[in-house]
């Protein structure tokens, strides 16, 4: 049996309706109720007034309508991909953070603008390279390569839609923390070697492997980015590089690539050697005032062994780095698979402990292989404001107003992930600290929790409800009804997450609190009893569940309470049918 907020046949609980009515406008509330029912039952629910979402069919599938979308101020590509903020510029165009409006997920979008095409000596060649990037990246099926979702044209521009990675740029890690420990450096290098193995087996060469093209995801998985200037080995494909082009970055470029523009798997291994040397030493293999001088050193100057640089590493690991940096490609390791094999002795061993894994730890996939990812999200900053400037009051108020309004528009379109991120960005922005009084922060966080709940992200919703409850103290002035409501929603989240025993304890305590502090709240007391009875029946405590349901029937004397009475009768009939 499905428990509230959608009990039995999918009937929405009165408490859930109350939460939505408090946080959303009437029009949005109708859509939110329907969207949540769709999430729980898979039934078709029409979109709200003015919504462009059309009909939601469950499982994230949407039938688009012809109605115009609300104006958000953000550009939308292909009537689906909303660009929210620029991430940077890659070798093949601009990269934007965005959202897939149809699937309500985060994405990264790479654009090849018409202006960049116009600047190119050969626009047709640049276009072919861009399209081939999508095809080649999609060809590499490996967790260390971001997934390609879509590619297409928008006017005179090309776009590539990819998985958006939540993590840290390896170049930033080196700048802040290098030299790194052997276990960290080797864990990063081994994962890169695994990606290169899959890429090379797919006849794909990266050609520009460097720290800024590597990210460590929050899970610890290393992601190799930007295959935009990659070359193919297959005889059936033209190498999309003109004579005279030198593709790559001088500080990480193999001698033969710099001299002859020759792209081979061995060149990627040389670049990996440069990265591994920098991880272990904190310094590049070669540095010089200009690119020609750097290239000259890569071609002519022997690399200094790590231990001569004062780096304490095993002799065999030092030997591997020197082999990777051999001037002659034939003297480098045979392939990326051999590199991985030679790194194995220095990888951290699997651990038996179930300790919490630090976010962004590249050793985690080796210490805890296939372990469940931590449910903890990146904490909000608790630092003092310091030198963070205070936003202009008018601009701050306008931003708070407009982003809350935009969040409501997104909820109207059942785009709960993006709506929640907008509200979370307000809470994290320290420049708004003067405008976001404790009362306003509480309201925004309650809406944030509601949006997570509506979107089915019960873990995130639970974290926000838990944060709210921690902020509610005797001096906060929050009505006891609001405190108990947050406790109820937190318990409901735990039920959705399968934390049955803890949810049952909290619901029992909550029932006692309502009876003691708010005995006149009949509907809410009945709802808590139904919730608790549902949970107890699912865990085998049927006698206690039956007693709670009988209490519901005895107390349901008003017209408003008949919904709970009907739920109780259905549950009792179901228990009788099952002989429980």
Among 208, 335, 361, 412, the one annotated catalytic: 208
Question: Once rounded to an integer, what is the mean pLDDT over residues 504-523?
Answer: 92
CA dist 340 and 329 (Å) reads: 18
Rg (CA), the chain: 29
Q: Is 171 found in the same domain as 156? A: no
More confident position, 509 or 113: 509
Total tally of structural domains belonging to the chain: 4
Q: Which of 377, 346, 343 is nearest to 360 (CA)?
A: 377
pLDDT digits (tens, 9 = 90+) for 71-109: 457 899 999 999 999 988 765 678 899 999 999 999 999
Beta bridge partners of 109: 96, 161
Q: Is 186 found in the same domain as 109? A: no
CA angle 244/247/249 to nearest 5° reads 130
Reported as a pLDDT band with limits 50, 70 and 90, residue 127 is confident
Would you state the pLDDT for residue 91? 56
Reported as a pLDDT band with limits 50, 70 and 90, residue 464 is very high
The lowest-confidence range among 177-186, 225-234, 256-265, 532-541 is 225-234
Would you state the pLDDT for residue 346? 96
What order do you get walking across the sheet with 148-154 strand by strand? 76-77, 81-90, 93-100, 105-112, 157-163, 148-154
> Is residue 254 scored above 70 in pLDDT?
yes
CA dist 404 and 573 (Å) reads: 45
Q: Is 298 found in the same domain as 332? A: yes
Domain membership of residue 355 (yes or no) is no
CA dist 219 and 221 (Å) reads: 6
The CATH number given to whatever domain includes residue 287 is 1.10.510.10
Range of the structural domain that residue 159 is part of: 76-163
Domain membership of residue 439 (yes or no) is yes
The CATH number given to whatever domain includes residue 548 is 1.25.40.10
Q: How is residue 575 written in tokens? A: 């228990």
Burial class (CB in 10 A: 0-12, 13-18, 19+), 450: buried
Question: Once rounded to an integer, what is the mean pLDDT over residues 123-152?
Answer: 83
Q: Is 541 found in the same domain as 404? A: yes
Q: Is 111 found in the same domain as 48? A: no
Q: CB of 55 within 8 A of CB of 45?
A: yes
Q: Is 154 found in the same domain as 82? A: yes
Q: How far is CA 413 from the centre of its chain?
A: 20
Question: Once rounded to an integer, what is the mean pLDDT over residues 332-338?
Answer: 97
Alpha carbons within 13 A on the beta-carbon side of 389? 4
Question: Once rounded to an integer, what is the mean pLDDT over residues 241-255?
Answer: 71
More confident position, 119 or 314: 314
More confident position, 473 or 335: 335
Would you state the pLDDT for residue 355? 59
Q: CB of 468 within 8 A of CB of 450?
A: no
> Is residue 48 scored above 60 in pLDDT?
no
Would you state the pLDDT for residue 134? 79
Domain final residue, candidates 163, 189, 208: 163
Q: Which of 157, 254, 154, 136 is nearest to 201 (CA)?
A: 136
Would you state the pLDDT for residue 35? 44
> Is residue 368 scored above 90 in pLDDT?
no
Question: Once rounded to an integer, what is the mean pLDDT over residues 568-578?
Answer: 89
Q: Which residues contact 467 (CB under 8 A, 6 or more apart)?
A: 445
Domain membership of residue 375 (yes or no) is no
Is 139 one of the annotated binding-site residues?
no
Question: Once rounded to an integer, what is the mean pLDDT over residues 535-556?
Answer: 90
Q: Is 315 found in the same domain as 400? A: no
Catalytic status, residue 208: yes
Per-residue buried b or exposed e for 260-277, using 16+ beta carbons within 10 Å of the residue's own CB: ebebbbbbbbbbbbbbbb
Domain final residue, candidates 163, 181, 214: 163
Q: Is 340 found in the same domain as 326? A: yes
Q: How is residue 156 written in tokens? A: 């005179």
- Enter the DSSP assignment of 432: G
Give me the chain's average pLDDT, please: 80
Q: How far is CA 416 from CA 186, 323, 494, in A?
A: 39, 51, 20
Domain membership of residue 361 (yes or no) is no
Q: Which of 18, 2, 22, 19 is nearest to 10 (CA)?
A: 2
Write out the DSSP string of 562-578.
HHHHHHHHHHHHHHHHH
> Is residue 61 scored above 50 in pLDDT?
no
Q: Is 502 found in the same domain as 414? A: yes
More confident position, 372 or 313: 313
The lowest-confidence range among 126-130, 360-364, 409-413, 501-505 is 126-130
Q: Is 82 found in the same domain as 137? A: yes
Q: Which residues contact 295 (CB under 8 A, 6 or more apart)?
A: 250, 253, 258
Question: Once rounded to an integer, what is the mean pLDDT over residues 48-62?
Answer: 30
Reported as a pLDDT band with limits 50, 70 and 90, residue 360 is confident
Q: Which residues contact 160 (CB under 8 A, 6 or more apart)?
A: 109, 110, 111, 130, 133, 134, 148, 150, 151
- Name the pairing type of β-strands 45-46 and 55-56: antiparallel
Would you state the pLDDT for residue 437? 83
Domain final residue, candidates 163, 198, 218: 163
Alpha carbons within 13 A on the beta-carbon side of 338? 12
Q: Is 333 found in the same domain as 199? A: yes
Domain membership of residue 277 (yes or no) is yes
Q: Is 250 found in the same domain as 202? A: yes
Domain membership of residue 525 (yes or no) is yes
């Amino acid at each position: 049996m499905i428990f509230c907020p959608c009990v039995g046949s999918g009937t929405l609980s009165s408490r859930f309706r109350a939460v939505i009515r408090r946080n959303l406008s009437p029009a949005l509330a109708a859509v939110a109720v329907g969207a949540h029912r769709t999430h729980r039952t898979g039934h078709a629910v029409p979109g709200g007034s003015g919504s462009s979402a059309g009909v939601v069919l469950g499982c994230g599938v949407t039938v688009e309508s012809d109605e115009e979308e609300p104006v958000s101020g953000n550009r939308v590509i292909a009537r689906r991909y909303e660009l929210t903020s620029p991430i940077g510029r890659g070798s093949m165009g601009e990269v934007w953070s965005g959202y897939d409006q149809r699937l309500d997920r985060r994405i990264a979008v790479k654009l090849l603008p018409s202006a960049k095409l116009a600047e190119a000596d050969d626009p047709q060649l640049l276009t072919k390279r861009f399209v081939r990037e999508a095809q080649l990246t999609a060809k590499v099926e490996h967790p260390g390569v971001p997934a390609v979702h879509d590619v297409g044209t928008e006017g005179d521009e090309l776009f590539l839609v990819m998985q958006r990675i939540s993590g840290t740029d390896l170049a930033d890690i080196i700048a802040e923390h290098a030299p790194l420990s052997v276990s960290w450096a080797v864990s990063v290098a081994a994962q890169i070697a695994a990606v290169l193995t899959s890429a090379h087996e797919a006849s794909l060469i990266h050609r520009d492997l460097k720290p800024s093209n590597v990210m460590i995801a929050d899970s610890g998985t290393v992601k190799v980015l930007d295959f935009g200037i990659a070359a193919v080995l297959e005889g059936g494909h033209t190498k999309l590089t003109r004579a005279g082009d030198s593709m790559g970055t001088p500080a990480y470029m193999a001698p033969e690539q710099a001299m002859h523009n020759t792209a081979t798997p061995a060149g990627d291994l040389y670049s990996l050697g440069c990265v591994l040397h920098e991880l272990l030493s904190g310094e590049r293999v070669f540095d010089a005032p200009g690119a020609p001088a750097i290239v000259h050193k890569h071609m002519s100057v022997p690399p200094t062994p790590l231990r001569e640089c004062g780096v304490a590493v095993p002799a065999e690991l030092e030997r591997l780095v020197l082999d990777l940096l051999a001037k002659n490609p034939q003297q480098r390791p045979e392939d990326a698979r051999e590199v991985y094999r030679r790194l194995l002795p220095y990888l951290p061993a699997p651990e038996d402990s179930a300790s919490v894994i630090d976010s962004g730890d590249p050793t985690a996939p080796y210490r805890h292989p296939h372990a469940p990812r931590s449910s903890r999200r990146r904490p909000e900053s608790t630092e003092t404001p310091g030198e963070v400037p205070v936003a202009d009051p008018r601009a701050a108020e306008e931003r708070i107003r407009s982003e809350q309004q935009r969040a409501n528009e997104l909820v109207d379109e059942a785009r709960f992930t993006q709506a929640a991120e907008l509200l979370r960005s307000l809470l994290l922005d320290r420049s708004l600290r003067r405008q976001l009084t404790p009362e306003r922060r509480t309201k925004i966080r309650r809406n944030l929790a509601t949006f997570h709940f509506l979107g089915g992200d019960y873990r995130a919703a639970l974290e926000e409800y838990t944060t709210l409850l921690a902020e509610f103290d005797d001096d906060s002035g929050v009505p006891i009804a609001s405190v108990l409501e947050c406790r109820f929603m937190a318990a409901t989240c735990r039920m959705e997450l399968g934390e049955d025993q803890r949810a049952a304890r909290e619901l029992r305590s909550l029932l006692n609190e309502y009876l003691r502090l708010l005995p006149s709240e009949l509907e809410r007391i009945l709802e808590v009893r139904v919730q608790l009875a549902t949970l107890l029946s699912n865990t085998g405590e049927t006698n206690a569940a039956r007693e709670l349901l009988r209490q519901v029937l005895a107390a349901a004397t008003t017209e408003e309470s008949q919904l709970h009475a009907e739920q109780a009768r259905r549950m009792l009939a179901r228990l009788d049918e099952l002989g429980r």
